Structure 1
Amino acid sequence: MNASAKNLLYPLRMTSSGFTLIELMVTIAVLAIIIGIAAPSISTQLANQRVKSTTATIANALKEAKVESIVRRQNVTVVYTDTSTPKTIKLRANNTDISSYNISDNSTITQTITPPTVTSLVFQPNKKIVGGATVLYTICDSGSSSEIPKQVNLTSIANVNTITAGSC
């Protein structure tokens, strides 16, 4: 009562010997089609996730700058550097770096300071921005054209708001 393949008749052994080349090729073709359909969706999701991550990083840096200015009782300057690799946001007090945040190289950030006469973003201990400035950061991703842009809005009284808006 040994049920091994050696004891079967020759025609039965040949029909149960595994996959044919055509079956394997059809399987690979179906997998290639599924991957081709899913790949663009995955890249868009990754781009959206990078935008969300960069938005959270900027919002956290601005909130930390506000808190640090209050705790230290001195002005804290936020410096955004997009020329270095990786892009960074640094918080400085008395020309000393307090902390640094790295930003994805695929992220594109547009900083708009109003009024235009204010050249740097400085938090004061009285919970205000020097010069009564308001700042708008628009975050996009250079890796995809179909991502949803986000904006970080900083009011003159140092409130940080994150919204889904803007254009890339």
Structure 2
Amino acid sequence: MVKDKFNQGFTLVELMVTLAVAAIILAIAAPSFSQMIRDHRLITTANDFMGTMQLARSEAIRRGIQVTMLPITNGDWSSGWNVFTDWDADESLGDVGAVCAENQDCFLSQQNALDNVTSVTAGNTGSGFRFMPTGEILSTLGFPNGNITFCSTGSNERIITVNQSGSSRISIGNVCP
């Protein structure tokens, strides 16, 4: 039987060169992959916030009462947020029963503290958002637009702008520090 030189497999040198090239490619790709994960977490957080705002607005219209969206910790949106019906319009979640009864505050949604965002800043939002039965935002400050900016190191800001009618949009801002 004649040995065929080309059917003997890889040499050790060929295997080592292949592993070295693979290691270099992984070393270059890994940081980019980490940044991509941070970017998508920031996008997801901004989308969750906007979805919660849309829930609050639609519940206000559906139930015909004021629905309030406030940060869990006063003024700090990065601590998370609560959405609740606000029968007495006092911007606080009063006694909550197991069932959403007439004339009683009703807890609708909660987002816990954000661990994938470095900062959340609010502009022209007052203490939070109060959606009226018409879907509009009740504003005591007289501003045309409020905004919430989500930031994560190295990613582009995600800015949610809310106008007086209660509609909102997400835009991309500058690179976060």
| TM-score where L is the length of structure 2 | 0.71
Structure with bigger gyration radius? 1
Equivalents in 2 of 1:87, 1:20: separation in Å? 58
Amino acid in the other structure paired with 2:46: T
Amino acid in the other structure paired with 2:83: L
Equivalents in 2 of 1:81, 1:28: separation in Å? 51
> Are 1:37 and 2:28 matched, yes or no?
yes
Instruction: Name the structure 2 match of 1:114.
Output: 124
Equivalents in 1 of 2:124, 2:17: separation in Å? 61
Among candidates 118, 129, 137, match of residue 137 of structure 2: 129
Amino acid in the other structure paired with 1:63: Q
Among candidates 151, 159, 165, match of residue 151 of structure 1: 159
The within-5 A match list for 1:50-69 is 50-69=41-60
CA contact (8 A) 2:130 2:137 kept: yes
Count of paired positions: 152
| TM-score where L is the length of structure 1 | 0.74
Equivalents in 2 of 1:167, 1:29: separation in Å? 34
Instruction: Name the structure 1 match of 2:69.
Output: 78
CA contact (8 A) 1:51 1:140 kept: yes
Superposition deviation, residue 103 in structure 1: 7.1
**Deviations for 1:59-114, whole angstroms, at most 9, x for unmatched residues?**
111111111111111111113347xxx96432111433112346752123423242
Equivalents in 1 of 2:68, 2:27: separation in Å? 47
In structure 2, relative to structure 1, the CA distance for the partners of 1:113 and 1:16 (3 Å cut) is closer
The within-5 A match list for 1:15-30 is 16-30=7-21
CA contact (8 A) 2:159 2:173 kept: yes
> 5+ unaligned residues in a row in structure 2: which ranges?
87-92, 94-105
What is the root-mean-square deviation of aligned Cα atoms in Å? Answer: 2.8
In structure 2, relative to structure 1, the CA distance for the partners of 1:56 and 1:120 (3 Å cut) is closer
Equivalents in 1 of 2:79, 2:12: separation in Å? 51
